[in-house]
């Protein structure tokens, strides 16, 4: 038996070793497949096909293959705005590309600054004597802003256009929290810091309404000006005024109504649009699918047009998404990750640093950590320039204060100079079900904060003092950076959000300009000649898994939707915002320099609440 047992154990060991070997070989082969990049050889003469089946962002978030495979959910595609702009500009000067085919059937939108930048690139493409043909089933604000720059705008016979403009309803939870017995303790500074109002009120305050009206009004004017300039025949007033009358004039045919209002040029199916593109680009010799045309896909084109890097380096650090204290990102601004990237670059021979900010802010501690890391570069004597994207508000403005010069766009949302914190307690809820708390304390702060028994006045005083001191610190940074008095900084602060145009008039930003303008200014300040420098994006790396995972799971991707699908997505966005609001209440993450007042489309990603959190079961009750 002893000999047989030894043989058996040997066989088990061999089996385990072979299993491990096969697993290693499997995962090695899987990694090799996943790491495949689009081949530059896939570039073909014809059209550049921009089938935007996702959203446009400042920084693409990586895909976690394990989470995708476990959830069986198709990851939503993200496109970096600067990649789209570069692809379009490269195509303008390449003889192989005759036309851009802009398919917006499943486009999910993006920030207004990004739409403006891509639209300007499309204008440059047309200026090179090449047409842009756009197609969609349903056009909304973002897709219309891009399509307006096309030479021909096609709309599906089953589709239409709905221009909603910025704004909408916001949910308020004070009545719900009172009914549930949840006490939301709010600590804030700033009359306009309305981020906490949903937890304390049942309606919008006069200060918040004033701020929203000014902000949304400015964004709406900028949107209309951009579309009218690109497409003078567009009758926006007709499509947004008497909507019922506009539709009735076309017998409620939404596609015909869009053409009548000058929002579209031609009504046709995707096949008919493809046949029109083929008249310019040529037919696809390898694909006999109806509507096929010779084209180069976006990924292959981008891989084939890698920019050359000559001359001195200018570093670009991207702060995109909600600022937190940890490793989050790319696509989210984890301060620990960003500061590490900045510190690693201290040994590089960077001639200047451009800080690209597209963030509503976040934690005060994370914002300050990033600011200090930027200052370590400033002590080297190199120029520091900030380029603001869709937003650089609250903590996003905090990290901009070390700049020698701040660039923004008229559509940029900035300011929101204020601090707040929210801490829920559940003593009323527990009392209602017969649960009380008691104990022995040595000081008024013993056991505080007590989420189950409530806050003592002393604990509340400490928390409010934390917010007050944070606000004073914020004002000091703004006053020093903008060279104004503390009183003037306070006037500009109070948590109020400004559009880029107003912010420039108030001196919160220095001049209008995109990332390229900020880079050019940084190069000039560094004494670098034109053509003798290049940008280095710190921490940028290709997602080796994303494109293949999307191809593998493509069958589950979202198909083009009509107007019902468009409004259903907006309703889903509202539900997502409500979930994020409730989770934001239940997850305590310290004092916040964060702009929750900014438009919902630019809101930070929802936070996660662990099962160990005291309010987790309440959240489940509310959501389910």
Per-residue pLDDT reduced to its tens digit, 443-458: 888 877 777 778 888 8
Structure tokens at 110: 């993006």
Structure tokens at 181: 């017995």
> 57-114: per-residue pLDDT in tens?
999 988 766 665 555 556 678 999 999 999 999 999 999 999 999 999 999 999 999 9
> 573-590: per-residue pLDDT in tens?
666 666 666 666 666 566
Contact 315, 354 (CB under 8 A): yes
> 17-71: per-residue pLDDT in tens?
667 666 655 655 555 444 444 444 578 999 999 999 999 999 998 876 666 555 5
DSSP letter at 60? P
Complete domains list, the chain, with CATH: 40-163+231-304 (3.90.226.10), 312-425+454-530 (3.90.226.10)
Q: Is the pTM of this model over 0.75?
A: yes
Structure tokens at 484: 């104004």
Whether 437 is a known active-site residue: answer no
Name the CA dihedral angle for 109, 322, 166, 176, rounded to a multiple of 10 degrees. 120
Find the catalytic residue in 359, 367, 394, 481.
394
The angle formed by the CA atoms of residues 44, 50 and 55, to the nearest 5 degrees, is 150
Give Cα separations from 336 to 10, 254, 544 (angstroms): 48, 50, 23
**Would you state the pLDDT for residue 211?**
86
Find the catalytic residue in 193, 387, 416, 481.
193
Helix or strand or coil: residue 57?
Answer: strand
CA dist 411 and 218 (Å) reads 8
Residues 6 or more apart from 461 whose CB is under 8 A from it? none
CA dist 337 and 333 (Å) reads 8
| Alpha helices (runs of H) in 241-289, residue ranges in sequence order | 243-248, 254-260, 270-281
CA dist 618 and 613 (Å) reads 10
Contact 573, 402 (CB under 8 A): no
Series of mean pLDDT values for 10-residue runs along the chain (624 residues): 64 71 58 46 89 94 67 75 96 96 95 96 98 96 97 96 88 86 82 74 86 91 96 96 94 96 97 97 91 95 88 96 91 94 94 96 93 97 97 95 97 90 82 80 80 83 87 93 93 88 95 96 95 91 54 50 62 64 64 67 37 38 39
Count of CA atoms in the C-beta half-sphere (13 A) of 527 = 2
CA dist 397 and 526 (Å) reads 24
Structure tokens at 432: 């209602």
Whether 378 is a known active-site residue: answer no
């Amino acid at each position: 038996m002893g000999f047989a047992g030894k043989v058996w154990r040997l066989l088990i060991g061999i089996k385990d070793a072979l299993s491990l070997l096969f697993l290693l070989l499997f995962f090695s082969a899987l990694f090799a497949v996943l790491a495949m990049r689009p081949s530059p050889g896939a570039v073909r003469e014809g059209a550049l096909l921009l089938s935007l089946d996702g959203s446009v962002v400042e920084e693409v978030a990586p895909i976690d293959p394990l989470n995708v495979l476990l959830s069986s959910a198709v990851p939503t595609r993200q496109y970096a705005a600067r990649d789209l702009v570069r692809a379009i500009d490269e195509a303008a000067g390449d003889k192989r590309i005759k036309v851009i085919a802009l398919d917006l059937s499943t486009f999910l939108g993006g920030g207004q600054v990004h739409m403006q930048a891509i639209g300007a690139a499309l204008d440059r493409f047309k200026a090179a004597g090449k047409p842009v043909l756009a197609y969609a089933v349903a056009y909304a604000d973002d897709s219309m802003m891009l399509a307006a720059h096309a030479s021909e705008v096609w709309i599906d016979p089953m589709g239409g256009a709905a221009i909603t403009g910025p704004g909408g309803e916001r949910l308020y939870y004070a009545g719900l929290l009172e009914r549930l017995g949840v006490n939301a303790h709010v600590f804030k500074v700033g009359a306009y810091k309305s981020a906490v109002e949903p937890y304390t009120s049942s309606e919008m305050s006069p200060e918040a309404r004033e701020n929203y009206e000014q902000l949304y009004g400015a964004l709406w004017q900028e949107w209309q000006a951009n579309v009218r300039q690109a497409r003078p025949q567009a009758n926006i007033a007709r499509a947004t005024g008497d909507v019922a009358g506009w539709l009735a004039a076309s017998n409620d045919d939404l596609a015909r109504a869009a053409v009548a209002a000058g929002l579209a040029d031609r009504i046709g199916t995707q096949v008919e649009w493809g046949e029109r593109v083929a008249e310019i680009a040529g037919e696809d010799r390898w694909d006999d699918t109806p509507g096929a045309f010779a084209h180069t896909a976006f990924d292959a084109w981008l891989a084939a047009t890698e920019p050359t890097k000559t001359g001195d380096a200018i570093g670009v650090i991207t702060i995109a998404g909600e600022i937190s204290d940890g490793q989050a990102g790319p696509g989210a601004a984890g301060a620990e990750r960003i500061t590490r990237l900045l510190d690693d670059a201290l040994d590089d021979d960077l001639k200047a640093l451009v800080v690209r900010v597209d963030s509503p802010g976040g934690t005060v501690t994370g914002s300050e950590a990033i600011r200090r890391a930027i200052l370590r570069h400033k002590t080297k004597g190199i120029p520091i320039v900030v380029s603001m994207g869709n937003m650089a508000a609250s903590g996003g403005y905090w990290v901009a204060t070390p700049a020698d010069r701040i660039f923004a766009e008229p559509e940029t949302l900035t300011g929101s100079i204020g601090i707040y914190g929210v801490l829920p307690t559940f003593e009323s809820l527990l009392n209602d079900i017969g649960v009380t708390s008691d104990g022995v304390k040595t000081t008024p702060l013993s056991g505080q904060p007590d989420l189950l028994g409530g806050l003592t006045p002393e604990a509340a005083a400490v928390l409010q003092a934390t917010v007050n001191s944070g606000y004073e610190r914020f004002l000091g940074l703004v006053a020093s950076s903008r060279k104004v008095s503390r009183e003037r900084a306070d006037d500009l602060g109070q948590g109020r959000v400004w559009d880029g145009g107003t912010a420039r008039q108030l001196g919160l930003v220095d001049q209008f300009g995109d990332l390229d303008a900020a880079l050019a200014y940084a190069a000039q300040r560094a004494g670098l000649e034109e053509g003798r420098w290049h940008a280095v994006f710190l921490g940028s790396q290709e997602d080796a898994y994303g494109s293949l995972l999307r191809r593998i799971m493509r069958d589950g991707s979202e198909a083009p939707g009509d107007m019902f699908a468009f409004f259903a997505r907006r309703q889903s966005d509202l539900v997502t915002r409500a979930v994020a609001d409730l989770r934001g209440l239940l997850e305590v993450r310290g004092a916040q320099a964060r702009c929750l007042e900014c438009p919902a489309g630019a809101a930070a990603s929802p936070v996660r609440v662990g099962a160990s959190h005291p309010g987790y079961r309440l959240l489940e009750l509310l959501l389910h």
